[in-house]
Amino acid sequence: DSGVTQTPKHLITATGQRVTLRCSPRSGDLSVYWYQQSLDQGLQFLIQYYNGEERAKGNILERFSAQQFPDLHSELNLSSLELGDSALYFCASSVVGSEQFFGPGTRLTVL
């Protein structure tokens, strides 16, 4: 158990819908990262937050957004969903500059 929790574990929705994925980092970790893992794209970095502020951006679509709240939990919002958004979404947390600890992931299926 990494100490990072993600909810829900599975999510099934339809094209065009909007979903919110939630992540709680390890106690004391200020940085939260979001990744997408799909068969064709592999594991891709989406975005990083540090203590509530956006720190780095990767291959995140404009339809996707994230935020980190004062209690340090983070949410990833995915809107106007397409079939190709079906993937595993991982959250990770770290003390800045050190190794990242990953949550168990949320499996999103878009039908």
Partner 1 sequence: GEDVEQSLFLSVREGDSSVINCTYTDSSSTYLYWYKQEPGAGLQLLTYIFSNMDMKQDQRLTVLLNKKDKHLSLRIADTQTGDSAIYFCAEHTDKLIFGTGTRLQVFP
Give the shortest CB-30-to-partner 1 separation in angstroms.
Answer: 16
Asked if 50 interacts with partner 1 (CB under 8 A), we say: no
Which sign does the torsion angle of CA 10, 109, 88, 62 carry?
negative
Asked if 56 interacts with partner 1 (CB under 8 A), we say: yes
The letter for the amino acid at 99 is E
Give the shortest CB-29-to-partner 1 separation in angstroms.
Answer: 13
Give the shortest CB-92-to-partner 1 separation in angstroms.
Answer: 8
3-state secondary structure (DSSP) of residue 80:
coil
Strands 106-110 and 10-13 come out as parallel
Nearest to residue 17, comparing CAs of 85, 88, 91?
A: 85
Q: Select from 48, 68, 74, 93 the one that contacts partner 1 (CB under 8 A).
A: 48
CA distances from 18 to 4, 25, 64, 88 (A): 24, 23, 10, 16
Asked if 99 interacts with partner 1 (CB under 8 A), we say: yes
Specify the residue, 50 or 79, whose C-beta has the smaller distance to partner 1: 50
- Contact segment (CB under 8 A) with partner 1 among 21-29, 40-48, 62-70, 73-81 equals 40-48
d(CA 101, CA 27): 11
Give contact residues for partner 1 (rule: CB under 8 A). Answer: 2, 4, 33, 35, 42-45, 48, 56, 58, 90, 92, 97, 99-105
